[in-house]
Amino acid sequence: MIDIIIINALKKGNQSAYKILYERTIAYVYSIVRRFVDVEHVHKDIIQDVYAKIYININQFDSDKGTFKFWMRRIVINQCFEYFRREKRNAPIVSIDYIGDMAQPEPVDFADVDKDLLLRAIENMPKGYKNVFLLVEVEGYDHSEVSQITGVSEVSSRSQLSRAKSWLRKELNLRTKASKANGFK
């Protein structure tokens, strides 16, 4: 995605490197922002914040600690959650009384699910579930990292994930049945 030459040029403040980095990464950044934040008119603002932070903090990037992609992804996700905090839209966190679900979440096999159906279902997932689900299942963060990013406790994070999977399972069943019914018609 981004090679060390561009990063070094960025560290030296080379102006043309800004553009190169932007053009090579914007699709990836936009896909993450769009996934987390469904309010379209704020995407531009969030993305500007993301790149401003990347450029300002580029000297803090250490290639020995991880790839640039992961470093950048963390900035993008943090910025999305910064937006939630600003808008106070991250409030509907599910209570932790649902420990039963959390203990042994039923596995969901996405292999056989239709791609579009799955994407649409995730898009419609309730906000609190969706964030944790995306962070854990898609971005690969563990619950302690999710806790740092979202500001909820690890227990809540596990609970949210469990509920998200249950919700997704039901939603996929419903949508599959509906699409089959439509197909028969």
Binding site for other proteins (CB under 8 A): 9, 11-15, 18-19, 22-23, 26-27, 30-31, 34-35, 43-44, 47-49, 51-53, 55-56, 59, 107-111, 115, 118-119, 137-138, 140
* Cβ atoms of residues 17 and 6 within 8 Å: yes
CA separation for the pair 4, 167 (Å, rounded): 42
Q: Output the six-digit token pair for 81.
A: 């959650």
What is the closest distance, in whole angstroms, from the C-beta atom of residue 183 to other proteins in the complex? 22
Q: Which amino acid is at 160?
A: Q
Nearest CB to other proteins, comparing residues 30 and 98: 30
Angle at 28 between CA 128 and CA 21, to 5 degrees: 135
Nearest CB to other proteins, comparing residues 49 and 145: 49
What is the closest distance, in whole angstroms, from the C-beta atom of residue 7 to other proteins in the complex? 12
Nearest CB to other proteins, comparing residues 140 and 151: 140
DSSP-derived letter for residue 88 is T
What is the closest distance, in whole angstroms, from the C-beta atom of residue 44 to other proteins in the complex? 6
- Of 55, 63, 43, give the one whose Cα is nearest residue 11: 55
Q: Output the six-digit token pair for 28.
A: 């990836």
Half-sphere exposure of 26 (CA within 13 A, CB side): 11
What is the closest distance, in whole angstroms, from the C-beta atom of residue 95 to other proteins in the complex? 26
Nearest CB to other proteins, comparing residues 96 and 127: 127
Backbone φ and ψ for 150, nearest 5 degrees, come out as: -90, -25
What is the closest distance, in whole angstroms, from the C-beta atom of residue 133 to other proteins in the complex? 10
Nearest CB to other proteins, comparing residues 56 and 103: 56
